[in-house]
Amino acid sequence: MSKKHPITLSSWTLGDQCFFEDRVKAAAQAGYDGIGLRAESYVDALNEGLTDQDILNILNKYKIECTEVEYIVQWCEEPRSYEQKYKEQICFHMCDLFNVKQINTGLLESYSVDYTAQKLSELADRAGELIISLEPMPYSGLSDFATTWQVLTKANKDNVMVLLDEWHWVRANQPFSGVLSKEQAKRISSIQLDDAYERPYALDVLRDESMHDRLAPGTGKTDTVSFVKMVKEAGVDPQVIGVEVVSDENLKKGVDWVAQYTYDETIKVLEKGWPEILTK
């Protein structure tokens, strides 16, 4: 397993209807270094009757680790719901359990930059030494990298960084050159790879495309290789290379097929755009 840049099968790629051991087995047999887990996926595993030790034993059985934890949301709400407070605590616990240093974090709701930064600062304080990894998404309150960077800068917390997802990047109509400074590259915690059709869904249903109709890296029309090259040339050192291909059509073929297909296509992209990262 690559300890420095683990290629990770993100949770949504295998959906929310598979058993925990099936998820782990599929990822390991495909060649992935790690799996990602959402708080919901972890709770599903507990509801199967597994304990934390059972979960660790299954990971050890297949010689794979959990390398990605997600997803904190609605952290700007006032008051925050009990459900979201508890979900946040589950994410903290998962990081401790799996020795993961960052939590993928999003914000669908839109607030002012000042208010968002204040709430982000509070979240960062609650996270302690863990990294809050913000994910820009075009249909969210952090709609693009520039907005996310503005909030991050205003919050002024060392443990706030950014997760860049290729699908979200291109659907926000951001270019592949002249965007990331060297300073900004140092605050990119991880990346997620995927691809998309040339023509997006309409803006008011764009999230539906994100949650049901993404393509494997390098198989669409949005040039995943150029995204990888952009990240590389900016000097990003990703803690995780996630593969987040959320696709209803793929899942009809079974989790084993999805895991192998997405891994193989990801390796092809990395061999073209960033081959040296595969040997680090």
pTM: 0.96
The confidence score (pLDDT) of residue 278 equals: 93
The confidence score (pLDDT) of residue 3 equals: 66
Instruction: Count how many domains the chain has.
Output: 1
The confidence score (pLDDT) of residue 86 equals: 97
**pLDDT tens digits, 98-118:** 999 999 999 999 999 999 999
Domain annotation covers residue 1: no
pLDDT along the chain (280 residues), means of 10: 84 97 98 98 98 98 98 96 97 98 98 98 98 98 98 98 98 94 97 97 96 98 97 96 98 98 98 92
Tokens 């990346």 — which residue? 191
Task: Give CA–CA dist 158/33, Å, rounded.
Answer: 28
**Domain around 210:** 7-279
The confidence score (pLDDT) of residue 94 equals: 98
The confidence score (pLDDT) of residue 135 equals: 98
The confidence score (pLDDT) of residue 126 equals: 98
Task: Give CA–CA dist 195/216, Å, rounded.
Answer: 5
The confidence score (pLDDT) of residue 166 equals: 98
**pLDDT tens digits, 115-155:** 999 999 999 999 999 999 999 999 999 999 999 999 999 99
- CATH code, domain with 38: 3.20.20.150
The confidence score (pLDDT) of residue 125 equals: 98
Domain annotation covers residue 226: yes
Domain annotation covers residue 271: yes
Domain annotation covers residue 2: no
Domain annotation covers residue 165: yes
The confidence score (pLDDT) of residue 178 equals: 87
Cβ distance 80 to 105 under 8 Å? no
Domain annotation covers residue 127: yes
Domain annotation covers residue 118: yes
Tokens 């979201």 — which residue? 84
